[in-house]
Amino acid sequence: MENKKYKGKSTEAIHAGEALPVLPTGAQDQQAGKTGIPLLPPIYQNSTFRFQTAEEFASAFIDEESGYVYTRWGNPTQKLLEQKLAVLEAGESALATASGMGAISTALLTALADGGHVVAMENLYSATYNLLNEEFPRMGIETTFVDATDPNKVESAIRPDTKVIYLESPTNPLLKLVDLAACAEIAKAHNITSIIDNTFATPCSQQPIALGIDVVLHSMTKYLSGNGAVIAGAIVGEKEFIVRAQKGALRNFGAVISPFNAWLTLLGIPTLPLRFARHCENAAHIAAFLETHPAVAWVRYPGLPNHPQHDLAKRQMNGFGGMITMELKGGRAAGEKFVNQLQICALAVSLGDVRTLVCHPASTTHSHIPTEVRQQTGITDGLVRFSIGLEDSEDIIADLEQALETLPFYSEI
């Protein structure tokens, strides 16, 4: 493990994993005695690998560490990304996957290989909720959803057959936090695998494995790649778990990352610490602006002292992230009108992009859910979610201000 090799996250993000031996540039070049290896790791955009002899071929099947066989089983570009991820998340090993959902399903299928019950945070990312609420029950796997902001509620929901505690912190889109050290301790006491989706925080803000969590997941579609160009995911954990995930659920269900997407993600990670710091700085300015605006009912940002878990955020997070949620006073009509007026901020799902992205869940991602159900889970009609980008914050604030000023009730407040 390279975990303790570098003092800072930026050096890690740039150099970690790159000690991986680079495959020869080509037989002719080797024969010609040419020196020099690419500074930017090359992309191995191939599906299969050839061997010189039957013996070499056979031994690669027996001992997979001895060679690459087929890209669904492993590829040098994937491998380099995985080594970097393990270092960034202070884990033993990592696995890159085709998407965040590929990481989530692969990790859960691995931890629940013999069936069992899941205790999960309520208000998870919607597709994760659907996976646990709709897909897994068909395989005999039940989930109890609890308000994991209270670790006691997590412990109370544990049954004799519970195999997984599944968490997100901060949650999407309500930015609730979970005390990771407390939940990890509960999981250990009951011999249960603890899993957290660390997409919103990134390893720059929190390293759950250092707090005792077993498995960390990412949608690398978001901050890790940061370029808005890929769909990708990651699992980080103990080598034993990662090997089981790779040889089992990943290989057989097939949510394997393509070499090209692995390479594009490798291009993004070196700037993650710089980008994340700027996301945090911009979000802090914008949250402070929104908080004082008369058209806004409330603002939820872990860095604001009025966040119900601000003390936990200060203790657990090193940077409060780029996501902000707010409630407009005028409900759904205000939400729709507001987003229609925006000029710099883009109306789009996803997050972690260099551009500021805005989403009004009631009219888009959550429109299929009946109003009462949405209200119960906190997805209210005037809720707007921001993924604050890397533009100059005064430009984003000016865009938000002009859009807020067009709301019909603005002058009445």
Q: Minimum Å distance from CB 55 to ligand LCS?
A: 41
4 is catalytic: no
Q: Is the dihedral of CA 234, 238, 242, 244 positive or negative?
A: negative
360 contacts 335 by C-beta, under 8 angstroms: yes
β-bridge mates for residue 347, sequence order:
358
197 is catalytic: yes
In degrees and rounded to multiples of 5, residue 372 shows phi and psi of -60, -40
* 170 touching ligand LCS, by CB under 6 A: no
Which residue of 78, 93, 99, 193 would you call a contact of ligand LCS, by CB under 6 A?
A: 99
Q: Between 179 and 208, how does the x/- string for binding to ligand LCS read (CB under 6 A)?
A: ------------------x-xx--------
**What is the DSSP annotation of 314-340?**
HHH-SS--SEEEEEETTHHHHHHHHHH
Looking at residues 22 to 81 of the shown chain, list those that interact with ligand LCS (rule: CB under 6 A).
Answer: none
DSSP H or E segment with residue 236: strand 233-237
Q: Between 204 and 243, how does the x/- string for binding to ligand LCS read (CB under 6 A)?
A: ---------------x-x---------x-x----------
Which residue of 96, 257, 296, 351 would you call a contact of ligand LCS, by CB under 6 A?
A: 351
Q: How many helices (H) and strands (E) does the chain have?
A: 17, 12
* Closer by beta carbon to ligand LCS, 293 or else 385: 385
* 100 touching ligand LCS, by CB under 6 A: yes
DSSP H or E segment with residue 117: strand 117-121
Q: Minimum Å distance from CB 102 to ligand LCS?
A: 7
315 is catalytic: no
Determine how β-strand 296-300 pairs with β-strand 323-328. antiparallel
In degrees and rounded to multiples of 5, residue 117 shows phi and psi of -120, 150
Tell me which of 9, 44, 68, 125 is the catalytic residue: 125
Catalytic residue IDs: 72, 125, 197, 222
- Which residues sit at the interface with ligand LCS, rule CB under 6 A? 99-101, 125, 127, 168, 172, 197, 199-200, 219, 221, 231, 233, 349-351
